[in-house]
Amino acid sequence: MPVAYLDVVLVLIAAVPALSLGAPVLGYVVGAVAWILQRIVSVAVDRRLENERDLRRRLGLGVTSSMLRVWVLGCTILVVGVAGSRPDGLTAALVVFGAFSIYFVISAVTHRQRKRASA
């Protein structure tokens, strides 16, 4: 399903105009790389969870994975802001927030479509 990865595609496409308009390179690159890496991990975890039969274990792994991804992204933004500059940290935060917003909408729409299809 190509639309499932629209967030990653848009992060990559938006790099050209954002960087040409003067966005901090360090902040954009680190934010984009962090987002893409966590999406790769999330796909692997989701595939693992599909095969998990024990509901408690599935729920525990899902929640743990989600919380770890949030912490990793948050710490990445913080480190970029401290190691680079505040504009770098802000840029990384905006990249992650924008990508998450797109991901959230796509997830909600595809979830709703799956529910309708199964009903």
Q: In this predicted model, what pLDDT tens digit does every residue of 73-93 receive, in sequence order?
A: 999 999 999 999 999 999 999
pLDDT digit string, tens, across residues 26-42: 999 999 999 999 999 99
pLDDT digit string, tens, across residues 44-56: 999 999 898 999 9
As a whole number, the mean pLDDT across the chain is 93
Structure tokens at 54: 């024990």
22 has pLDDT over 90: yes
Structure tokens at 50: 């599909």
Domain count, the chain: 1
Question: If pLDDT is split at 50, 70 and 90, which confidence band does 68 have?
Answer: very high
Question: If pLDDT is split at 50, 70 and 90, which confidence band does 119 have?
Answer: low
Lowest mean pLDDT among 11-15, 52-56, 111-115: 111-115
Is residue 69 left, alpha or beta, with left meaning phi > 0 and alpha meaning psi from -120 to 50?
Answer: alpha
The reported pTM is 0.88
As a residue count, the chain comes to 119
Q: Which of 1, 77, 2 is nearest to 38 (CA)?
A: 77
Confidence (pLDDT) at 35: 97
Query: Where in the sequence is the domain holding 73, given as residue range(s)?
Result: 2-118
Q: How many CA atoms lie within 13 A of 40 on its CB side?
A: 6
- The Cα 6–Cα 75 span in angstroms is 24
Confidence (pLDDT) at 71: 96
